[in-house]
A and B are shown apart, each in its own frame.
Chain A
Amino acid sequence: AQSVSQHNHHVILSEAASLELGCNYSYGGTVNLFWYVQYPGQHLQLLLKYFSGDPLVKGIKGFEAEFIKSKFSFNLRKPSVQWSDTAEYFCAVNAGAGNMLTFGGGTRLMVKP
């Protein structure tokens, strides 16, 4: 079965700092990869996704992620974070029979103004 690991559970940054959140998955076949974000008190919403093609994916609000197949990774990046980026971020993988969607444990990001 596939699994997803997010190694950073809590990240604290100052505004304008650069962000990189790690995500690794375990599955040997074709995968679809996602990053979801949950702002305080709000629903989970899609940040960006990768299905195929260019491994560098751009999402909303200046976020991007790079799929590195050889490393089974899909790290999320943002060059300069804002206070409004404070949220919990989840990496997810959709693969295998039935397209089961599996999430990582999440990373809580706090951006200090």
Chain B
Amino acid sequence: SQTIHQWPATLVQPVGSPLSLECTVEGTSNPNLYWYRQAAGRGLQLLFYSVGIGQISSEVPQNLSASRPQDRQFILSSKKLLLSDSGFYLCAWSVEAIEAFFGQGTRLTVV
């Protein structure tokens, strides 16, 4: 069966520090991968999505970047975190147009 792992679950980082959130998927091949940010009152904001290795589309220009070094690995990064980067980050995967499956999420607090 397919599973998705996202870590860490919570993270507190100082302003200006780097960020790396990792997401891996098991049990499927060539999934579409997504990074979302969920902010209170603002719903789910699509940050990045990827249809294949090295193929990243950015939906919102900001202080973050994403990479897909392997088929089932999706990484969200930042070189220097801002206070406004605080939020709840969700990784998700889907195959073709089938429903998306979400990871547990990472609560990031930038202090």
Contacts and interface: CB of A to CB of B under 8 A. Distances in A.
A103 B43 contact: yes
B43 A44 contact: no
A99 B34 CA distance: 11
Contacts of B100: 34, 92, 94, 101
For this complex, into which size category does the number of interface residues on chain B fall?
20 to 34
Interface of A: 6, 9, 32, 34, 43-44, 46, 49, 51, 90, 92, 94, 98-106
Given A90-B43, A105-B42, A34 B99 contact: yes
Interface stretch (B17-25, B75-83, B90-98): B90-98
B111 interface: no
Contacts of A98: 32, 49, 51, 57
B102 A43 contact: yes
Contact of B44 (A9, A46, A94, A106): A106
